Amino acid sequence: MSYSSAPTRRVTTATLASLRERGEPAVWITAYDYPTAVFADRAGADVLLVGDSAAMTMLGHENTTSITMEEMLVFTRAVCRGAKRALVVGDMPFLSYQASSARAILNAGAFVAAGCGAVKLEGGRRIAPRVRAIADAGIAVMGHVGLTPQSLGQLGGYRVQGKTLAAAERLLDDVLALQEAGAFAVLLEAMPAETAAFIRDRVDLLVYGIGAGPHVDGQLVIAHDVLGSFVGEIAPRFVRRYAEVGATIEQAIRAYAADVRALRFPAPEHCYPIDAVDAIELQAASRALIEVAS
Ligand code: KIV
């Protein structure tokens, strides 16, 4: 038996811990579909987050609160089919974990059954009992504090969080509660780099950031933000654009439409060939049909 081609080793929470030990930042990006998962996996992303931001990026909702578990699981299964190496993290949508620990465990389990290696939920101390319940069910779970889009009404909009020492201390308290409850990691969203560093220096769990500066264990970006395919008004300061996929798609479809209207597409090379004799017979039959009709 030959063992010439080594199988791809899946990123796990242990891999993430060893990245931190080596001082190497982990690369996170959202993915919601099969092709993006394949491309991100091939590009070497360590973690694919199937974010509830799919509500906005994929479904055109105004915010993240209207996406359902069923919709999240469709996106999640597609991403899990595409990710061969990356850890896939399922983002628990609004009301999939708040009401009871039993519901939180069942919904977290549905993400695991779909192929996820971990789940994420929003909140700190107030959702710590749910984190404990999910962790006790044997599921790797992480929290998310700072700007938490599912609580947009309470936060009063997309606002930077943790801008004072008192606010940073409240965030730290939330992260410590998550750690105590068994979370393996936390995501910090939209806060000054100093606040993120203040938190990271005082906790043991892995700390990732989106819009939280460089002093964390890795960076998350929303795929549509960096690829230039988000349709909407929100343009966070922390986004760096690496492509203009939206503009490229629009340009390509304009060119296609122009070719159809000008009869330039399809061209001969896009048509299936048949034998010359058969072509002559078909053309003759068509002519005969026209003669009978006229
Ligand atoms: O849903 C998501 O993509 C997220 C990020 C905004 C952090 O949770």
- What pLDDT, on a 0 to 100 scale, did the predictor assign at position 3? 47
Question: How crowded is the C-beta side of 111, counted as CA atoms within 13 Å?
Answer: 32
Query: What does each C-alpha distance from 234 to 48, 51, 144, 159, 237 come to in angstroms?
Result: 22, 16, 20, 12, 10
Instruction: Quote the mean pLDDT of the chain.
Output: 95
How close is the Cα of 257 to the center of ligand 1, in Å? 35
Nearest C-alpha neighbor of 32 from the set 12, 7, 51 = 51
Residue 24 Cα to ligand 1 midpoint, Å, equals: 22
In the predicted structure, residue 156 carries a pLDDT above the cut 60: yes
- Mean pLDDT computed over 81-110: 98
Establish whether the linkage from the previous residue to 268 is cis, with ω within 30° of 0.
no
pLDDT at 2 over 60: no
Structural tokens at position 225 = 């933000």
Which amino acid makes up residue 149?
A: P
Q: Residue 238 has what DSSP assignment?
A: T
Task: Give me the sign of the Cα torsion angle 284, 289, 290, 294.
Answer: positive
pLDDT at 10 over 60: yes
How many Å apart are CA 21 and CA 217, to the nearest integer? 10
Query: Collapsing DSSP states into helix, strand and coil, what is residue 188?
Result: strand
CB–CB of 205/194 below 8 Å? no
CA of 226 to the centre of ligand 1 (A): 14
Type of residue numbered 265: F
DSSP 95-154: TSSSS-HHHHHHHHHHHHHHT-SEEE--BSGGGHHHHHHHHHTT--EEEEEES-GGGHHH
End-to-end CA distance of the chain: 73
Q: Is 24 annotated in the active site?
A: no
* pLDDT score, position 290: 83
Residue 1 has pLDDT above 80, yes or no: no
pLDDT band at 233 (very low <50, low <70, confident <90, very high): confident
Interval 115-137 mean pLDDT: 98
The pLDDT of 111-132, averaged and rounded, is: 98
187, containing H or E segment? strand 185-189
Q: Which residues line ligand 1 (CB under 6 A)?
A: 30, 49, 51-53, 91, 144, 187, 189, 210, 220, 222
Residue closest via CA to ligand 1's atom 2 equals 51
H or E segment to which residue 208 belongs: strand 206-210
- Give the integer Cα–Cα distance in Å for 7 and 85: 10
State pLDDT tens for residues 260-283: 999 999 999 999 999 999 999 999
* pTM score above 0.85: yes
Percent of the chain with pLDDT over 70: 98
236 CB-near residues (< 8 Å, 6+ apart): 158, 190, 211, 225
User: For residue 6, what pLDDT is reported?
Assistant: 61
Average pLDDT over residues 84-90: 98
The pLDDT assigned to 245 comes to 97
